[in-house]
Structure 1
Amino acid sequence: MSDIQNESGKSKMPKSVPYIIGSEIAERFSFYGLRSIMVTFMAVTFFNPTLNPALTAEADAKANEMSHLFVTLAYFMPMVGAIMADWFFGKYRVILTVSILYTIGHLILAVSGESYTLFSTGLIVIACCAGGIKSCVSANVGDQFNKSNEHLLSKAYGWFYMSINLGGTLAPLFIPLLKKYYGPEIAFGVPGILMALATIIFWLGRKKYVRVPPAGIKKENFFSISLYALQKLFSRKPGQKVWEAVSEKYSATSIDGIQAVYRVLAVFAFTPIFWALWDQNLSEWVLQATRLDLNLTSSFSILPEQINFINPLFLVLLIPVFNSFLFPYLEKKGIKVTPLRKIGAGLVIIGLSFTIIALLQEAIDAGGKPSVWWQILAYILLAASEILVSVTCLEYAYTHSPKSMKSTMSALYLLGISAGNLLVGLINGNIVDKGFFSQFTGAKYYWLFLAILAASFILFLLVAKRLPEKRYVGNEEAEN
């Protein structure tokens, strides 16, 4: 009888999951709350405090540059966080430590006042810590399950995903109001309070977590084998292929895993331009919203920083529509819905979204004040493109890489987000420095990115036809 009860107990949702979910809601609220106001705050406070119209374009470019470099660092650090957790300290210690530092970063922002140096320091601390958490928290969810309750894992990840979008939806609604009515000190301070709450919630669950100990440095890891392959490219025997030379030192299984990573990276090579466009909704689009008619009705208007709540809201609403209705409908009509086709469609849809933004900017440049409803339409299309590209890429990375490389692929995917933001940051920095890209201001700026996207899409079509299909499912046998 006791064995039955124990087995029944094991089949329940792990008691640690609510602590992880609660902590994630608060952390995402703090992160997106910060992002909702940082660009408009920096543009005025640091780069154009006198509100000189002649300095508007340069101030916007400087604020955008800082915003995208912040995201670049935040999405580069997951790789570092994963290494620290998996090889040296374990996920619990890494999450708790960086959460404390994360809270201190928010405190620095709240007390920075008009000090650009102090504000920048706070952003660097937050970016490093947010990235350190990102790679560990989602993996920590999976660590809480075993064979007896693994059927509940998808439900737990569903809650986890909802917690991310709940924080991302609520923060842009409330934090801009605090900035308007109570000032930036309070507006930046409240996300810090939420991050402190996230840390406390996570700590309270310390006795309930399943803690996977660090495994130490793995000899046959992605970087070691890749560097060795690069070395053998120039020092292999005459007529010998690179991977044949690598097989003299590393196992066939490890080499197959590395080759799988490079096949997936051929797809991921097109994600940086997607994220270069996507992440502008939290920077360039917010600044554009300050020049729109923000009246939703004749008696109700919103703040420019509040508009980006539309993206996570429609992301949650559209996912079941796509999965339960659109994709099955297309399959029934004989249109095969493959991952590569989803990604291609997502690139097209984000192009349509950006076209709306470019046309809006043309109207603004001509002295008009178009309705914010057009930008809302762009946000809805943006959410649809994210489902087709982001969600699909994560699925593609999982199904097309062996078990030993799945964590590596997730981290490399996040590096694509970092690379996309770095591109935008560098272009904005070049605009500030009066370089080549300084000619691309106003609507020309958005048309520039649409041209880059169009070139990338054509290249994607050429590459996608040549990508071999090799799926790793079930017991890790490869399906061709």
Structure 2
Amino acid sequence: MSAATLARLPRQVPYIIGNEACERFSFYGMRNILVQFLISSVILAYIPEADREGAAKDIFHSFVIGVYFFPLLGGWLSDRFFGKYDTVLWFSLVYCAGHACLALFEDNRQGFYTGLFLIALGSGGIKPLVVSFVGDQFTQANKSLAKVVFDFFYWTINFGSFFASLLMPLFLRELGPSIAFGIPGVLMFIATLVFWMGRRQYVRVPPSRGEDPDSFYNVARTALLSHAPGQGRPGLVVAVAGVVLAAAMLLAWGLHAWAGLAVPFWPAGFHFVITACLVLGALIACGGIGVSMQLERARGRHDAAAVDSVRAVLRIIIVFALTTPFWSLFDQKASTWVIQGRDMAVPHHSWWWPSWLVREAAQMQALNPLLVMLLIPFNNMVLYPALRRLGYEPTALRRMGWGIAFSGIAWIVAGLIQLQIDSGAVTSLAWQALPYTLLTFGEVLVSATALEFAYSQAKGSMKGVIMAFWYLASTFGSLWVLLTNVAVRNDAVTARIATTGWSENAFLMFFFAAFAFAAALAFALYARRYPMQDNYRPAG
């Protein structure tokens, strides 16, 4: 980046990037030691030792679901009431309180779970806003710099994540959980302070406060409720069917959880988190389909640009939905891959292995942010220009589709490693570097690209909410993991897996790889007809 380019960057951007670097250290610092801590902690002492790994995975992915669910709340509060700056600041304080609970209650189940909830609430609440807040600092006049900043923003996220992933497992091992969970809390306080220091320089796009007659909600409601001469309201029927389905799922869960009644069509393993995600999915899917079916009825009652904007948002949600299998694979690097690494041999005897630093399997997660920091400049300066010279334009959607496919390749390699472990052979932890590299390449293609894509596709007051829908993709990614965990606890499924000759872990790794390949194909087919948008603020 040249000095001239740096001079034209908005001067408030470094405060946001500094905040994000500290916040990401804070988040990944606690997240990347969570499974490792839970397996051996008194928190899960009431569970038989053989079942603790599975329970730790369930807790981890339930936490991830919360982290990526609460962006809906943060985006709604920001767009409707408080604006991005105030919402980020207040949720950051909740975030700090959550870290304090983890440090103070590392041996108390209720206190520890309260801390996880507060971190999920605080982290999720600010998640859709910080990225879009960066975008708000740009106009049409300097939007060419936005891609550079979005990439650098993502690079900075991984800078914080790298040191957290590398050091926190050592701190947990050497200093104990109270200090290990306390350090991320201190970093989160610093992140909040840095963000507050830039308060006088930020561009603050005012919230809609619910006064926009052409908001997404108002246009969607008009479309669903409007009559057309000689036509029924099939879209409304679909939307109401989604509400009925959601109510039925909640009732089934309630009858089982509270009354102890067995509901034939509702698996006993579908706890509240799974049920809530399925309810949300039914409401979004049926509501979106219903609005799409009758959207043209809103023309004339709302501005044409607003109706087109709602249509664009519905298309974006489909793109996001098709990335959920990627997140089901990606987030398991902090659960399934850490557990796999515990059964592998750390190659301390090898001259090239940094035994003075890397002592735990959980530290392999540091490869992910390190590779991100290397791959982003490599892609931008080497790979993408080379592809353009060959006549292939690496558009945002093409990059995302290939990223999903590379995640599937990574899990095939992880599955082959698991087969080696299952055979009884001593397997070096260093072999995990290969799937980490493939998965990280996929992440750069999907996630770094999506930061730019999601902001540019959303109009005006919808930016915070559409970013929340992007992060919600991770919620449903972890939902697929929880659903799979429930399925493999079924005797019939377990027996079926046994007929393959593979262990349960190996079978699931190949299953998730196939899931990713199917999603990549569907994504490519949809991306071919997706109309790209350009929604940066006008200059001046």
Q: TM-score when scaled to structure 2?
A: 0.77
Contact 2:68–2:471 under 8 Å retained in 1: yes
> CA offset at residue 66 of structure 1?
1.2
Distance 2:339 2:447 in 1: 25
Letter in 1 for 2:228: R
Asked if 1:136 corresponds to 2:129, the answer is yes
Structure 1 residue 267, shift from structure 2 partner:
2.4
Task: Confirm or deny that 1:21 pairs with 2:17.
Answer: yes
Q: 1:230 to 1:366 in 2, by over 3 A?
A: farther
Q: Does 1:276 align with 2:328?
A: yes
Q: Which residue matches 2:96?
A: 103
Summarize the alignment of residues 189-338 of structure 1 with structure 2, pairs less than 5 Å apart: 189-217=182-210, 218-232=212-226, 235-238=227-230, 242-295=294-347, 297-298=350-351, 300-301=354-355, 302=358, 303-338=360-395
CA 1:270–1:37 in 2, change beyond 3 Å: closer, same or farther?
A: same
Q: Are 1:427 and 1:437, in contact at CA under 8 Å, matched by a contact in 2?
A: no
Distance in structure 1 (CA, Å) of the matches to 2:452 and 2:193: 32
Segment of structure 1 superposing worse, 269-278 or 332-341: 332-341
Residue 101 of structure 1 contacts residue 125 of structure 1 at CA under 8 Å; is this kept in 2?
yes
Separation in structure 1 between the aligned mates of residue 468 and residue 30 of structure 2, nearest angstrom: 23
AA partner of residue 229 (structure 2): K
> Is residue 2:526 matched to residue 1:460?
no
Two-structure CA RMSD over aligned residues (Å): 3.0
- Counterpart position of 2:478: 421
User: How far 1:12 sits from its partner (Å)?
Assistant: 6.1
Aligned-residue offset at 1:342: 2.4
What SS class does the counterpart of residue 400 from structure 2 fall into?
helix
Inter-partner Cα distance in structure 1 for 2:537 and 2:118: 41
8 Å Cα contact 2:138-2:537 kept in structure 1 = no
Counterpart CA distance in 1 for 2:526 and 2:79 is 34
CA distance in 2, matches of 1:283, 1:352: 18
Q: Which moved more, 1:247-256 or 1:36-45?
A: 247-256
Aligned partners of 2:120, 2:491: CA distance in 1, in Å? 27
Structure 2 letter corresponding to 1:160: F
Cα shift readout 1:130-182 (whole Å, capped 9, x = no counterpart): 01111222233344456887776555545433321111111011111111111
Say if 2:131 and 2:451, in contact at 8 Å, map to a contact too. no
- Structure 1 residues 348 and 216, CA gap change in structure 2 (3 angstroms): same
Residues 1:222 and 1:399: Cα distance change in structure 2 (over 3 Å): same
1:87/1:464 CA distance change after superposition, 3 Å:
closer
Aligned-pair identity (%): 37
2:422 is matched with which residue? 365
Counterpart residue number, 1:184: 177
Distance 2:178 2:325 in 1: 35
**Structure 1 unaligned blocks of 5 or more:** 1-7
Summarize the alignment of residues 367-382 of structure 1 with structure 2, pairs less than 5 Å apart: 367-382=424-439
8 A contact 1:87–1:216 mirrored in 2? yes
Change (3 A) 1:224 1:72: farther
Larger mean CA deviation between 421-430 and 318-327 belongs to 421-430
Matching of residue 40 in structure 1 with residue 94 in structure 2: no
5+ residue gaps, structure 2, are 233-292, 498-503
Alpha carbons of 1:255 and 1:50: their partners in 2 closer, same or farther (altered >3 Å)? closer
* Equivalent residue letter for 2:162: T
**Displacement of 1:474 after TM fit?**
7.7
Deviations 1:233-292 (A, max 9, x none): xx5332597233222432211111111122233322210011111111111111111111
> 2:162 — aligned with what?
169
Distance across 1 between alignment mates of 2:533 and 2:413? 37
Instruction: Give the structure 2 partner of residue 4 of structure 1.
Output: none
Partner Cα distance (2:145, 2:458) in 1: 23
- In the aligned structure 1, how far is the partner of 2:518 from the partner of 2:29? 34
Which residue of structure 2 aligns with residue 448 of structure 1? 511
**Aligned mates of 2:45, 2:296 — CA distance in 1:** 62
Change (3 A) 1:82 1:125: same
Distance 1:213 1:48 in 2: 46
Q: Deviation of residue 127 (structure 1)? A: 0.5
In the TM superposition, what is the alpha-carbon distance from 1:455 to its structure 2 partner? 3.1
